[in-house]
Amino acid sequence: MQQINWYPGHMKKTKELIQKNLKLVDVVIELLDARVPISSRNPQIDEIVVNKPRIIVLNKSDLANPNDTNKWIKYFKKLGVNAIAINSLSGTGLDKLMSEIHSAVKEKMDERIKKGLRKRPVRAMIVGIPNVGKSSIINRLTGKKSAKTGDKPGVTRGKQWVRLKGNIELLDTPGILWPKFEDQNVGLKLAFTGSIKDEILDIETIALRLIEYLCEKYPTYMKQRYKLSNIEDDGLKNMDNIAKNRGCIISGGRIDYTRVANVVIDEFRSGKIGKITLESPDDLESTIEE
């Protein structure tokens, strides 16, 4: 499989935009995908944000394993960062996010009042890799379509300030990936969840790797969803059996690999296979330097 290495020019500009505008904000909201909290963390964000108050938001928590999500919240708390789980599509957890924003800047705002400065809106910046749901969150918080949304990465371009209820002004930024994935497993997980454009990937190979992972870690879900009588040791055999059970066959009885690949990837991303988290704090050694 080709090395996943995707860093369009607009992402370099986004990094510069975040650095330039950081001084304007009181708090940074770092948005992660609850299914892949480490793989969806841009390591450059730590370097860029430095000492600003920060809140980690685990979005798409409705698609993730709830036990693993709780483990991640505890993990980030140990690192000294508050983390909350939300579902931007239903709005679950957004009230908690609003109160966390105010808590994070309370000391700074109290200081302003003591100095006799007028009360001003809290200024927050939202950052994250592509397709983790920034636009959906903003639209939920404003109650209108302030930000473009799409199920493909790279929809938001340029920066925009959005006024939220609760006297908060939010700076939206485009999704930012990092220049290369040193661990190819990180690239694979981002491909599974849709943070890398499908157009630049070998979709059949990505689906095969996803099937291998799910058959190993979530065999019961795979058996139930795809009517598999048993899980084979060979991932390609499992892919073939899924294709046969779903009618992904072309003339001559051959497997339509593109079609079965799209079925499995779409059903994983929409949560139809089950509530699945692809990484746990327990297996961090290989994916993060603490």
Determine whether the annotation assigns residue 253 to a binding site. Answer: no
Class of domain 202-283 as given by CATH: mainly alpha
For the CA atoms of 261, 265, 268, 271, the dihedral, rounded to the nearest 10 degrees, stands at -120
131 labeled part of a ligand binding site: yes
User: pLDDT digit of tens for each residue in the chain (290 aa)?
Assistant: 445 554 555 566 777 878 888 989 999 999 999 999 999 988 778 888 878 999 999 999 999 999 999 999 999 999 889 999 999 889 899 999 999 999 999 998 988 889 998 888 999 999 888 889 888 888 888 876 655 444 434 334 456 788 888 889 998 877 777 656 667 888 899 999 998 877 777 899 999 999 999 999 999 999 999 999 999 999 999 999 999 999 999 989 999 999 999 999 999 999 999 999 999 998 775 444 43
The answer to the question of whether 280 is labelled as a binding residue is: no
CA 23 to chain centre: 25
39 is in an annotated binding site: no
Q: Is 135 annotated as a binding residue?
A: yes
Do the domains 202-283 and 9-172 match in fold? Answer: no
Among 180, 136, 206, smallest CA distance to 12 is for: 180
Find, among 113, 109, 112, 127, the residue nearest to 54 by Cα.
127
Q: What ranges do the domains of the chain cover?
A: 9-172, 202-283
Residue 115 in marked binding region: no
**What are 228-243's pLDDT values in tens digits?**
999 999 999 999 999 9
Binding site annotation covers 134? yes
* Residue 132 marked as a ligand binder: yes
Q: Is 160 exposed, middle or buried (0-12, 13-18, 19+ CB in 10 A)?
A: middle
Establish whether 146 is an annotated binding residue.
no
Question: Is 99 known to sit in a ligand binding site?
Answer: no
Is the entire prediction scored with pTM above 0.75? yes
CA 156, CA 43: separation in Å to the nearest integer? 21
Identify the CATH number of the domain defined by range 9-172: 3.40.50.300
61 is in an annotated binding site: yes
Torsion angle of the four alpha carbons 169, 14, 155, 179, in this order, in degrees rounded to the nearest 10: -140
Report the candidate in 80, 72, 79, 91 with the shortest Cα–Cα distance to residue 33: 72
53's tokens? 């108050």
